[in-house]
Chains A and B, each alone.
Chain A
Amino acid sequence: MNDSAAVIEIRDLRYAISGRPIFDGLDLKIARGGVTAFMGPSGTGKTTLLRLITGQLVADSGSIQVAGSDLCSLSRSELYALRRRMGMLFQNGALLTDLTVFENVAFPLREHTRLPERLVRDLVLTKLQAVGLRGAAQLMPGELSGGMTRRVALARAIILDPEILIYDEPFVGLDPISKGVVLRLIRRLNDTLGLTSIVVSHDVREISSVANTVFLLSGGKVVAHGTPQELRSFPSEIVQQFMGGLADGPVPFHYPAGDYYTELLAREGVA
């Protein structure tokens, strides 16, 4: 019973991009319901992890179970069927630029269902109302601000009533007001629609206010997990560096390089 409560379960995940290992034996479980956050320094493969969970990338080894099915064993059509139960919000919204806001939100309905136009309209307006953009229905994506774009994308992601909603860096490049709006939406949608939400971000303050559970990734592994409060007092240098936002620590300030002094001298020698 305990196992079925986990919506996503990853065991011993290994994945490398052109020989450079990104994940090296990653294990994690995400329980049904609640908001789960993946955090970690830039370049630790948080977005890659999302792409693996959604089947856009295929793991080198290990298993990824989503909603009870093993991603590696799914055919293309089974994967598509699974994806209809997931919604994903891309970093920049990824709205289709040649369609209006209304048509963007209606897009999954038009592709997957044959609902009468009237019902489509009602559903789309309901979702747009939920993100507060019913009035912008006839605008084109190019006419929206960054925050509005993301809210439209959010309306589109929930139009098919998914079980899992995935946010890829939802706060990047937003002003404080828009950040507040997105935060409130994440929380409210999660609670009213009974979703399991997964948020990838490195904004410690925002995540602390919204996440139930946080996984801190570094060096291809989960280095810590727990509630935001637990992580603040986690006895590990790297967790402290990240949560506290310190410039230097286990994640070094300098990109790996040879000895500074030697290199300066060597360059002089060449000249």
Chain B
Amino acid sequence: MKTLQELWNSLHAALVEIGAMVRFLVRLLIVAPRALVRFSLVAEQIYNAGALSLVIIMLSGLFVGMVLGLQGFQLLQRFGSEEALGTAAAIGLVKELGPVITALLFAGRAGTALASELGLMRATDQLSAMEMMAVDPIRRVVVPRFLGGIIAMPLLAAIFSMIGIYGAQLVGVQFMGVDSGSFWSQMRSGVALVDIREGIVKSLAFGVACSLIAVYEGYYAVPTAEGVGRATTRTVVTSAVVTLFLDYLITAMFL
């Protein structure tokens, strides 16, 4: 009986959280057109979320691509079709690994930065000060960060995939001796535009989810050192779970 009660309690808490987050999203979307007018604020956040994540994204993309090249080669060699390595690596990166790993890295790099920044602004009364200067902090602070994250994510995912494909090419063609021509030509005949579209749709969805979670956790953080810390942790955990869940959903939609 007690575990049932606990189960109900946590379910109830989760429902309240989801509801609050969706309402926050609606609030952001209502303000978004007006915030877009001042695009310099959004551009600044594209820099924070995107340009500053570039190094980690590119490095990870390279290594993930190289691992794919190695693993894919070992596997495909068993069937005598190493030439399919290009297709395997490109499809894997564009549809799946690119968007998902980018989203996870984004949550860890940009998401935590967003959450702790907003949490600290709350803790040091900066948000209240804006309210007192008759400036809506949602419009001035939260929405530009939200939009910046959404714009940065597909671009980051594309860069990740591109670097990854070159990583796979490096291992497959340069180290393992797969024919360069068939690596690329098989990739071209194997990858369809719809695969790339799936990747873009995914990374857009992940961008909305991860940015929303980060700004939500930060904006409603308990204004203490502990509260801000908890907000950043929750940002990473929730983003990761939601990303993987959405990944399944969108993959199923595109089948």
A and B touch in the complex (CB under 8 A): yes
Chain A residues packing against B (C-beta within 8 Å): 54, 56, 80-81, 83-84, 86-88, 90-92, 94-97, 107-108, 111-112, 153, 156, 160
Are B133 and A111 within 8 A (Cβ)?
A: yes
Are B134 and A90 within 8 A (Cβ)?
A: no
How many Å from the CB of A250 to the closest CB on chain B? 31
Are A94 and B135 within 8 A (Cβ)?
A: no
> What string of 1s and 0s marks CB contacts (under 8 Å) between B136-175 and chain A?
1000100000000000000000000000000000000000
Q: Which residues of B contact A56 (CB under 8 A)?
A: 128, 131-132
Are B132 and A86 within 8 A (Cβ)?
A: yes
Chain B residues packing against A (C-beta within 8 Å): 120-121, 124-126, 128-136, 140
Q: Considering the chains assembled together, what is the distance between the CA atoms of A107 and B134 in angstroms?
A: 11
Q: Which residues of A contact B120 (CB under 8 A)?
A: 97
Q: Give 28 A-B contacts (CB < 8 Å), ordered by A residue.
A: A54-B132, A56-B132, A80-B134, A80-B136, A84-B133, A84-B134, A86-B132, A88-B132, A90-B128, A90-B129, A90-B132, A91-B125, A92-B124, A94-B124, A94-B125, A94-B126, A94-B128, A95-B126, A95-B129, A96-B130, A97-B121, A97-B126, A107-B133, A108-B134, A108-B135, A111-B134, A111-B135, A112-B134
| Count: A-B pairs, CB below 8 Å | 53
How many Å from the CB of B52 to the closest CB on chain A? 14
Q: Considering the chains assembled together, what is the distance between the CA atoms of A191 and B243 in angstroms?
A: 58
Interface residues of chain B: helix, strand, loop or mixed (majority): helix
Q: Which residues of A contact B121 (CB under 8 A)?
A: 96-97
Q: Considering the chains assembled together, what is the distance between the CA atoms of A160 and B134 in angstroms?
A: 11
Q: Which residues of B contact A80 (CB under 8 A)?
A: 134, 136
Contact of A83 among B124, B125, B126, B133 (CB under 8 A): B133
Q: Considering the chains assembled together, what is the distance between the CA atoms of A134 and B136 in angstroms?
A: 28
Q: Which residues of A contact B132 (CB under 8 A)?
A: 54, 56, 83, 86-88, 90
How many Å from the CB of A163 to the closest CB on chain B? 14
Are A111 and B129 within 8 A (Cβ)?
A: no
How many Å from the CB of A69 to the closest CB on chain B? 14
Q: Considering the chains assembled together, what is the distance between the CA atoms of A83 and B131 in angstroms?
A: 8
Q: Which residues of B contact A97 (CB under 8 A)?
A: 120-121, 124, 126
How many Å from the CB of A196 to the closest CB on chain B? 16
How many Å from the CB of B222 to the closest CB on chain A? 14
Known contacts: A83-B132, A86-B132. The answer to whether A111 contacts B140 by CB under 8 A is yes
The 7 closest A-B pairs by CB, nearest first: A94-B129, A94-B125, A80-B134, A83-B134, A88-B132, A90-B125, A84-B134
Q: Which residues of B contact A54 (CB under 8 A)?
A: 132
How many Å from the CB of A271 to the closest CB on chain B? 30
Q: Considering the chains assembled together, what is the distance between the CA atoms of A160 and B132 in angstroms?
A: 12
Q: Considering the chains assembled together, what is the distance between the CA atoms of A101 and B131 in angstroms?
A: 19
Q: Considering the chains assembled together, what is the distance between the CA atoms of A186 and B129 in angstroms?
A: 19
Beyond the given A96-B126, A107-B135, A112-B135, could you list 15 further A-B residue pairs with CB under 8 A, ordered by the A residue number? A83-B131, A83-B132, A83-B133, A90-B132, A91-B125, A92-B124, A94-B124, A94-B128, A94-B129, A95-B126, A96-B130, A108-B133, A111-B133, A153-B129, A156-B133
Q: Considering the chains assembled together, what is the distance between the CA atoms of A47 and B93 in angstroms?
A: 54
Q: Chain A residue with minimal CB distance to B135?
A: A111
Q: Which residues of A contact B133 (CB under 8 A)?
A: 83-84, 107-108, 111, 156, 160
Q: Considering the chains assembled together, what is the distance between the CA atoms of A97 and B129 in angstroms?
A: 12
Q: Considering the chains assembled together, what is the distance between the CA atoms of A153 and B132 in angstroms?
A: 12
Q: Considering the chains assembled together, what is the distance between the CA atoms of A80 and B137 in angstroms?
A: 12
How many Å from the CB of A110 to the closest CB on chain B? 10
Q: Considering the chains assembled together, what is the distance between the CA atoms of A112 and B133 in angstroms?
A: 9
Q: Which residues of B contact A160 (CB under 8 A)?
A: 133
How many Å from the CB of A193 to the closest CB on chain B? 17
Are B125 and A92 within 8 A (Cβ)?
A: yes
Q: Which residues of A contact B131 (CB under 8 A)?
A: 56, 83
How many Å from the CB of B39 to the closest CB on chain A? 15
How many Å from the CB of A230 to the closest CB on chain B? 32
Q: Considering the chains assembled together, what is the distance between the CA atoms of A160 and B121 in angstroms?
A: 23
Q: Considering the chains assembled together, what is the distance between the CA atoms of A18 and B55 in angstroms?
A: 47
Are A81 and B134 within 8 A (Cβ)?
A: yes
Q: Chain A residue with minimal CB distance to B136?
A: A80
Q: Chain B residue with minimal CB distance to A54?
A: B132
Q: Which residues of A contact B130 (CB under 8 A)?
A: 96
Q: Considering the chains assembled together, what is the distance between the CA atoms of A97 and B135 in angstroms?
A: 16
Q: Considering the chains assembled together, what is the distance between the CA atoms of A220 and B129 in angstroms?
A: 26
Q: Which residues of B contact A91 (CB under 8 A)?
A: 125
Q: Chain B residue with minimal CB distance to A111?
A: B135
Q: Considering the chains assembled together, what is the distance between the CA atoms of A81 and B133 in angstroms?
A: 10
Q: Chain B residue with minimal CB distance to A90?
A: B125
Q: Considering the chains assembled together, what is the distance between the CA atoms of A156 and B130 in angstroms?
A: 11
